[in-house]
Amino acid sequence: MKTIVMIAGVVAVLSGLVWAAQGAGIFPYPRSSFMVNESRWIYIGLVTALGGIAAIILARRA
C-alpha cells in the first residue's frame, strides 16, 4: 500500500506541475490545449502538486 501511495503522489506532483506550467503558458504543448494560458489551471495544478507532496510525505512516514 505504501508503494502505491508513493507512486500516486509522484504522479500527482508531476501532473500538477505540468498543469500549472500549461496554465502559465510556460509549457504550451499541445498548442490547441484548453489549458494553455488559463490562470485557473495554475491554481488547480499547484493544489494537485501539493496533494501529491502530502501523499509522498504520508507514505514515507507509514
- Model pLDDT for residues 2-35, shown as the tens digit of each residue: 999 999 999 999 999 999 999 999 988 888 889 9
> What would the mean pLDDT of 40-54 be, rounded to a whole number?
97
Residue scoring higher pLDDT (45 or 30): 45
Q: Residue 15: left if φ>0, alpha if ψ -120 to 50, beta else—which one? A: alpha
Give the per-residue pLDDT at 51: 98
C-alpha distances in angstroms, 59 versus 10, 17, 54, 56? Answer: 11, 20, 9, 5
Query: What is the CA 22 to chain-centroid distance, rounded?
Result: 11
Q: Is 8 helix (H, G, I), strand (E, B) or coil?
A: helix
pLDDT score at 28: 85
pTM for this prediction: 0.89
